[in-house]
Amino acid sequence: MNLERAFRISSILLAVSGFTGLILTGELPIGLVGLGAAALALSFMQGAGWNADWLVFRLSSGAWNAILASAFIAFGVDLLWISQDLLPAGIHFLILLMVNKLLTLQQRKDFLHLYAISLLEILAAAALTVELWYGAVFLAYLLAAIWTLLLYHLRNEAEEAGVVVHTARGPVDPARTPGPITGRFFWTTNAVAVAAFGLTVAIFFIIPRIGAGFFQKDRAELVRTSGFSEKVDLGIIGAIKLDETVVMRVEFPDHNGPLTEGLYFRGAAYNIYNGRSWTNSLARRRVLGQSEGGLIKVVAPEASATGQPGLRQEILVEALDTTVLFGVPFVESIKGFFLFVLVDGMGDLYMPYHPNARFQYSAYSTATRLHEQERTGTAFTYPAHVRKQYLQLPEVSQSVADLARGVVRQATTPYEMAVAVERHLRETYRYSLDVGTAVSVSPVDDFLFTRKSGYCEHYATAMVVMLRVLGIPARLVTGFLHGEWNDFGNYYTVRQRDAHAWVEVLFPRSGWITFDPTPSVPAAGSNPLWSQLGSVVDSIRLKWDRLVILYSFRDQLAIAQDIRERGDTVRVQVAGWLATALRWAATARTRLAELRSASEWLLVGTLVGCLGLVGLIAIARMRGRLWNGRRRLMLHTPWQAAAVRLYGQMLRLLESRGVSKAAGAAPLEFARLVNREWPAADRFVGPLTELYCRVRFGQAPLSSEDLRQADDLLAGLRAVRRL
């Protein structure tokens, strides 16, 4: 391929890449798409050497100027009356300019104008979309730009050389000269393009991020959610249970695998029920501002913290039609791009404004745990405002009241009553999305006595009503279940279908405790291959959003701080090594000056050899220990690590009471020793040891119920006194 043909084809491909970026945004009118595609096709055919003289538009300069003036007038009309926005109107005008240049590519300046237009096109596409495909289009544009600029430079040199030949030996057409497009040139140019791309990536992460977005379009269509407005009607969540739209993606950076079951992302809570819908009477919001380090501390009005480290979540939320901020209950602090958040009397968190694009934030949560005294307490006293807010009921039928009392007739404590109601609803009723309620019938009565089937809202509402009949404060909560675990990206993908409603029951000391009366529903079957492929693509999309689209000045500061800390550490280590080496050198020089006889040299050689041998043995043993330790750590799954931690707590507790485990004693052997020396503790030590062996050596999973049972056993062991 000669130089002129390669140059023209490369120039057209550069324009194609910019135009493709605009097409994929979906913002171009179909007429402009057809016009631009036709102009590109005609120019490519001419540049490729087809005998297509009939394709060349032979118009006078005055005619082309008139066409440009008409395009400019069309731009003004578009800006003022049609699009009424600078960005789309400017893009439409840009396409008309591109068509004009493609049909008049003759002089050097025409190609330069085309390059400028293609650059503006790729920049406009960046303002219109944040999708993953833009990365591929940008890479293609960069490759075409490198090729085009190199060929442009070579063509200019060829033209200049042609002028010299013309003055000496006669006219020479540079377009007919052999082109330097060889295999070596091809691969060298591609290598330059790859290097340029690497430099571009480095510059992207280094240059300061302003993030003003003056020309960015409010591009994201809001995802319509249900169950988070000021009023929630029964049946509103069921309508979206078949919707596959992604709502958010949640990472747990401090955990390497999926968490145990029972993971919820809490959104909004409701306390007033009128028989058909739920509202929040504590909806008045107050402002929570940032504290040191940009962290916003949340003071939940009725939830109590346990003092344990908060569960860290990195949440990427799509552009939703709600300002609710989600998190694992209960969020104790939050950090994001916002300067403040709003919180209402229920502890629900809200953004100060509606987002127009996906955004991310960090949340830190601490779960409330039921105190042992309230697990066994037979009666509790609640303040008047609690009874007013969380025992409110509309007119309830006698059948509902009788059912509630019948379900808990064998329960003796409020906790047992709540568990009994939860179990009754789970085991007696059928989960179904095909539910309708007659206008004249109470939804709760219809669910409990007529249809005996429903979805999460029916179950949760029925449980709240039954508990309030029994005098137990409760409220309805809406949010999302954990969704799908992505093994490739190590995060949860939460979709519309994961929308859920559950119950929170108030205990005076423990705070709000979560109960879920809805039975579990088997996940819909899917093709494993397509599922894995979808997980890979979704993981790449998340990385794109995190590292490119949402990469901010705060991320730059964090990276710079990390590099600085690592640099300081390396500098201190190197300085220490140099100082040690200098001391050794000085000591050796002094000692060598004192040595005079051959016997001393022999002694020194022997000592050095022995020390070297000892050092090699020590290094070998240390590496063996490190490898064994690493193997042990690698063998620990999150469940095994939790079991080891619980068993270690038990051993430390027993040691404080005078019962120590020998280094070589097996777990079951030690349990028998405890039975002999301290029989009263055996009913706690035995089950804990069995749980440890089953998980640690049998590799059985550790459920949330197992963790709760282990905590109870440890609490019981602490309460036992050794005589």
Q: What is the pLDDT of residues 42-91, one digit of tens each?
A: 888 887 777 555 555 566 667 767 887 888 888 888 888 888 788 889 99
What is the band of 217 on the pLDDT scale with cuts at 50, 70, 90?
low
- Name the domain count of the chain: 3
Residue 610 lies in a domain: no
Whole-number pLDDT of residue 618: 67
Domain boundary among 521, 551, 581: 551
Q: Which residue has the higher pLDDT, 183 or 712?
A: 712
Is pLDDT of 19 > 60? yes
Least confident of 365-374, 574-583, 631-640: 631-640
Do 658 and 540 belong together in one domain?
A: no
Is pLDDT of 172 > 50? no
For the segment 123-140, the average pLDDT, to the nearest whole number, is 86
Report the C-alpha gap between 346 and 301 in whole angstroms: 7
Do 430 and 327 belong together in one domain?
A: yes
Is pLDDT of 305 > 60? no
What is the band of 596 on the pLDDT scale with cuts at 50, 70, 90?
low
Do 539 and 671 belong together in one domain?
A: no
Residue 111 lies in a domain: yes
Q: Which helix (H) or strand (E) holds 186?
A: helix 183-206
Whole-number pLDDT of residue 214: 43
Domain boundary among 528, 551, 574: 551
Contact by Cβ (8 Å): 225, 499: yes
For the segment 491-509, the average pLDDT, to the nearest whole number, is 94
Q: Which residue has the higher pLDDT, 294 or 552?
A: 294
Do 643 and 679 belong together in one domain?
A: yes
For the segment 255-269, the average pLDDT, to the nearest whole number, is 87
Do 237 and 269 belong together in one domain?
A: yes
Is pLDDT of 486 > 80? yes
Do 407 and 275 belong together in one domain?
A: yes
Residue 378 lies in a domain: yes
Other CB atoms within a 10 A radius of the CB of residue 643 amount to 25
Do 287 and 431 belong together in one domain?
A: yes
Whole-number pLDDT of residue 173: 44
Whole-number pLDDT of residue 267: 94
For the segment 104-118, the average pLDDT, to the nearest whole number, is 90
Report the C-alpha gap between 685 and 678 in whole angstroms: 10
Residue 126 lies in a domain: yes
For the segment 135-152, the average pLDDT, to the nearest whole number, is 88
Place of tokens 């968190």: 349
Contact by Cβ (8 Å): 505, 512: yes
Whole-number pLDDT of residue 169: 38
Do 165 and 238 belong together in one domain?
A: no
What is the band of 183 on the pLDDT scale with cuts at 50, 70, 90?
low
For the segment 623-647, the average pLDDT, to the nearest whole number, is 63
Residue 374 lies in a domain: yes
Residue 158 lies in a domain: yes
**pLDDT above 70 as % of the chain:** 80
Whole-number pLDDT of residue 146: 86
Whole-number pLDDT of residue 237: 78
What is the band of 175 on the pLDDT scale with cuts at 50, 70, 90?
very low
Whole-number pLDDT of residue 5: 84
List, for residues 86-95, the tens digit of each pLDDT value: 888 999 999 9
Q: Transcribe 106-121 into DSSP letters.
A: -SHHHHHHHHHHHHHH
For the chain, what is the mean pLDDT? 82
Residue-wise burial string across 468-505, b where 16 or more C-beta atoms lie within 10 A, e elsewhere: bbbebbbbbbbbbbbbbebeebbbbbbbbbbbbbbbbb
For the segment 485-508, the average pLDDT, to the nearest whole number, is 93
Contacts of 640 (CB under 8 A, 6+ apart): 695, 696, 699
Q: Which helix (H) or strand (E) holds 598?
A: helix 598-635
**pLDDT above 90 as % of the chain:** 34
Do 30 and 137 belong together in one domain?
A: yes
Do 489 and 529 belong together in one domain?
A: yes
Whole-number pLDDT of residue 104: 85
Report the C-alpha gap between 16 and 10 in whole angstroms: 10
DSSP-H helix ranges across 340-455: 372-376, 384-390, 398-407, 414-428, 443-445
Residue 136 lies in a domain: yes
Strands 453-454 and 264-270: unpaired
Do 186 and 327 belong together in one domain?
A: no
Do 180 and 240 belong together in one domain?
A: no
Is pLDDT of 238 > 80? no
Q: Which residue has the higher pLDDT, 211 or 393?
A: 393
Whole-number pLDDT of residue 306: 47
For the segment 292-310, the average pLDDT, to the nearest whole number, is 64
Query: In Å, how far are 113, 305, 365, 369 from 308, measured between CA atoms?
Result: 63, 8, 10, 11
* Coil, helix or strand at residue 245: coil
Range(s) of the domain holding residue 69: 3-206
Whole-number pLDDT of residue 56: 52
This prediction's pTM: 0.63
Domain boundary among 531, 551, 571: 551
Place of tokens 């393009």: 193
Residue 521 lies in a domain: yes
For the segment 201-224, the average pLDDT, to the nearest whole number, is 61
